[in-house]
Chain A
């Protein structure tokens, strides 16, 4: 067998294997080209989930006849003006997309360069080029891809169902749309419009686009993140912990406006939300990281889904601290989705529970019970003092005097206690129901955590524990030795394949150090973050907090309740318990009015 150079067509198909994996990758490449071409609106249509037809049309700068011919050559691009792979400022740069797509489909490119009066068109079929011919096009570029993968039938067999291929096309376009609020996007499937995002400008452009893509809920229930450190800028929005999901799909990171999936990011987000929600829930975030092109290497993945940062620690630290700070500033806010669920429960309560047990089954959530309890109460929105004291703690009567002055606080003035478990407070424009145990537990926990920050006590090991691991794990753990020492765990190298634990966090008492260190090594590999240790420490705090806090079933005086509300306002993250459940719900007056059909 002799070594030979592969023909151009085969080379392109091999390249296509990396770049063009499924219809969504075609859409990604073409839309990125359109964005790089300075388009202000991009129209995408597809048929047969992109298998039969993909059309991407933009109003960008367009190409001249000669450029058009060159564009379908491999490694031909306009995006690396000075051949510098370190400073990459465009989404594309490899010059692979068009020839790769052309080699596995029937592609028609039409383009009219800005300022030119003629449009040109070119056909590529399975890598064979014909044209260019004159064409008619008002401006910009239009690329039509038919019969994708007809030249590589094997690939067709690996495609998923139409539904999931179409969904991933929509997902790709959404991601690109989130990162480019100034560009309008429409996606059509056949005749049906899947979505259309208008191009917007102005200060709120980014927020408006995120709201359009991720839904109004996200816009209402997220806090803005904006920091800059050492030339790295992080902006975007972090969802409140009470708005969480079962998977990490709704976590978006854009590096220099390029959507990426990165384990560093996943780990940093996990770290930032660490004790705000259960390990099995995932927050919703959209963050834009802008850093000098030479601080990040995007050329590590053919589809550019991963990136490498020159200073990973800086990026991670920035994300964790910025998100934590933003969430802490949000303080006691719980998401309004919770209140929406609550008022939904109220509604089922008034329709069903009134007439019989069927309503309970209907309402299903525990809030139906609260609703039932409310039926005994005065009409919501009425002034205090008229309600039937039955079911309210007697404290309600004593609060009347203080109600007026305390009402302007965000969490309002306590008007009473329900079932010795929930505090009801009246605010200027609504009603708050607080779970007294969850709220107090969080307050005690936050206080303990603060104490923990001032220094973790370390118990020296009389008989140091030797932990044997593979060398990679040893390296990972030792590389973070300083950080671990701050958390109370002092490790030193011990031969090639082991570390020795010299001191341990006193808080943990007698503990399985081997297991702890090995878990840490796994954590570092998976998330690049020593979350296990902080979690273990926080677990101890949270157990102590649980025992040290006011239980459900304890009667509280008005002063106690108001003090709790005031402390919640002053404490970061008091809007949810350690597992991401809300500590209180808020019903706005309009919500209440809607319940009574007044609106």
Chain B
């Protein structure tokens, strides 16, 4: 497998890997590092890449594990990930929207969820994976995923309603 074939192979899910990493690691730079790391790992396995029947799921699982490792080592070092680069280098879509404020709220609320729920929200509500695929990535059964996802969505709703009616009631 040469480089061009490999790039074509990864391009459909490269951004998904990046967004999942960004969801977990928060910072754009770290997410980029994570994406590179995962892709280089895949590239180093290129000989038997064709034997995997779902490379995308493998890549997403690798990303998840890599991010967890990163978070673990961060916590071991007693370092908090600094939330100073919420704003992307690219012009954000929410700039065009009136309610950019409430979108940032959603981001903050999701970031406060446990990591496992963040992953599920990311995979389902953002990337729109089928439950079957999510099950492969996170190694859970579909029912457990549905239950957890419902919990996560309700938590988001709860926090949203609280902030929405803040100062009114």
A and B interact: no
A interface list, Cβ under 8 A from B: none
